[in-house]
Amino acid sequence: MDLNNLSLHSPYDGIDDITIDDGSGLNITHAVKGPNGTEEDREPEDRISELPDAIIIQILSFLPTIVVVRTSLFSKRWRHVWTLVPVLDFSDSREVEFFRRPNEKNNERKKFFKFVDECLKHPYADTTITKFKLEMDFYGGGHRVDGWLRFPVIKSVKELDLHVSPTRSIYYLPNAILSIRTLTLLKLNGLQLNGFPIVSLPSLKVLYIKFFIMNDKALNNLLLGCPYLEKLDIRG
């Protein structure tokens, strides 16, 4: 697998299926074109497996999760490395969607949904997840996104970045997000606050709000729950 190609095409291209195997890792069916134009499996070239795990994990923490997971194709040693990365970064690849036909976009979206579903099934028992990022267009079906966002609540993440752009409807931020007591940084973009929830963010230092729908009373309520806030950035 050539990671350089991921910036030119969708990161989900070439992935036929993604499933969890016995809760310990992802099985990825990766098809490539052979010399005769038919699909065949290719063993990716492994160049950096001699690096210590700590360095590999540090490098991978700066990459989108789909790229991190695809490194499991490198060799047996890499198969479970992705589960040790403390950052989960899910993006629906909007940078390539402009060039795709409607049916291609729908297929891409389904792959994205399944990828997030499968990744979040993993317990990450030996990993402290410090950062969770979700960037996607919202077309409805908020219950599925609600399920995803239970993960950062359960894992008590320190940084949470949510960019859920409204299309046919607006996504309401789950109230539980505003009670993650370990949060130090919170970014909210394109969502709507659900009423006047109890806000308890005693560790929050930085809050970014962009295109976030709420009135002055709701904003007041939000800020009262962030007693040690050092930086507030509101844009709309």
What would the 3-class secondary structure string for 105-162 be? HHHHHHHHHHHHHHHHHCCCCCCCCCEEEEEEEECCCHHHHHHHHHHHHHHCCCEEEE
Lowest mean pLDDT among 37-51, 123-137, 214-228: 37-51
pLDDT value at residue 184: 99
Residue 66, pLDDT > 50, answer: yes
For 3, 97, 168, the CA distances from 100, given in Å and listed in that order, are 21, 5, 19
Percentage of the chain with pLDDT > 70?
75
pLDDT value at residue 62: 96
Residue 14, pLDDT > 60, answer: no
For 41, 100, 114, 142, the CA distances from 1, given in Å and listed in that order, are 10, 23, 21, 34
Average pLDDT score over the chain: 82
| pLDDT tens-digit map of 189-236 | 999 988 888 999 999 999 999 998 888 899 999 999 999 999 999 997
pLDDT value at residue 214: 87
Residue 89, pLDDT > 70, answer: yes
Cβ neighbours, 10 Å, residue 90: 18
Instruction: Determine the average pLDDT of the residues in 78-100.
Output: 77
pLDDT value at residue 139: 87
Residue 40, pLDDT > 50, answer: yes
| pLDDT tens-digit map of 140-192 | 889 999 999 999 999 999 999 999 998 888 999 999 999 999 999 999 999 99
Residue 100, pLDDT > 70, answer: no
Instruction: Determine the average pLDDT of the residues in 12-20.
Output: 56
| Residue 118 pLDDT grade (very low, low, confident, very high; cuts 50, 70, 90) | very high
Lowest mean pLDDT among 16-20, 71-75, 181-185: 16-20
Whether 218 contacts 173, CB under 8 Å: no
Place of tokens 């109230």: 175
| Residue 9 pLDDT grade (very low, low, confident, very high; cuts 50, 70, 90) | very low
